[in-house]
Structure 1
Amino acid sequence: TTLEKWLKTEESKSVGWDSGDGESIGHKSGEHIIKILNKKKTDLTAADYQHMQKVYGYVARHMAQKPKDPKDSNWDYSLKNWGHDYRKN
């Protein structure tokens, strides 16, 4: 997927808060999103639904803080880690 390709880039790994093990929280979120997308709806867990709510909240808050020149910014990269490309909406 596009998200899987993005998460392999240096740009993806260059932004976000460290989760304590060297990987950003947003990067881990992107990996969780990929797992969710690869599941059948009937196999989704309560934790998956909680994560989807977390992603929705993060994206909504982040979109409210859109910079004047968002292209290729940390803001842009962080949103992509969370599975959202503002240019596609």
Structure 2
Amino acid sequence: MKRDDRDSRDDRGRDTYREFTDAVNMKPGELSSWLESEESKTVGWHKGGRTGGGESVGHESGRKIIGLLRRKRSELSEADYKHMRKVVGYVRRHMAQRPSGDVRDTKWRWSLMNWGHDPLKR
């Protein structure tokens, strides 16, 4: 691999990591507790459809995010960075769809929280 390719990949990884840590504003323990709540389990798209049961895509992502937050940057794989980019994209798209009014007890907020972002936190 040429040095320019490595440097470019390192820069992308650094950018991805920064964007991910900006998007995910919940701490691992806080996210873990949230994922145990009934509200967390009631939102999101399920791969098998709503009646298909199982875990929602966002809930599964939340579990992955906890692992990512607990790992050192040097331990992250390309697959980890791919998931980080997916999280950043989801948070950005969902934030752009913010409903009007108080969002405290909304499925919109709960879905974002499954992805590690609480829009009520500053």
The sequence identity of aligned pairs, in percent, is 55
Cα distance between partner residues in 1 of 2:47 and 2:58: 9
Shift of 1:41: 1.0
Aligned-partner SS, 1:83:
coil
Cα distance between partner residues in 2 of 1:54 and 1:76: 18
Aligned to 2:17: none
List aligned pairs for 1:1-89, cutoff 5 A.
1-20=29-48, 22-69=54-101, 70-89=103-122
Larger mean Cα displacement after TM superposition, 18-27 or 37-46: 18-27
Aligned-partner SS, 1:86:
coil
Cα distance between partner residues in 1 of 2:31 and 2:47: 20
With the length of structure 2 as denominator, give the TM-score of the two structures.
Answer: 0.70
Q: What amino acid is aligned across from residue 68 of structure 1 in structure 2?
A: S
Structure 1 gaps, min length 5: none
Shift of 1:22: 1.1
Aligned residues: 89
Give deviations 1:8-66, integer Å, cap 9, x for gaps: 00000000001236100000000000010111111101111011111000000000000
Structure 2 gaps, min length 5: 1-28
Aligned to 2:24: none
Q: CA RMSD in A?
A: 1.0
With the length of structure 1 as denominator, give the TM-score of the two structures.
Answer: 0.95
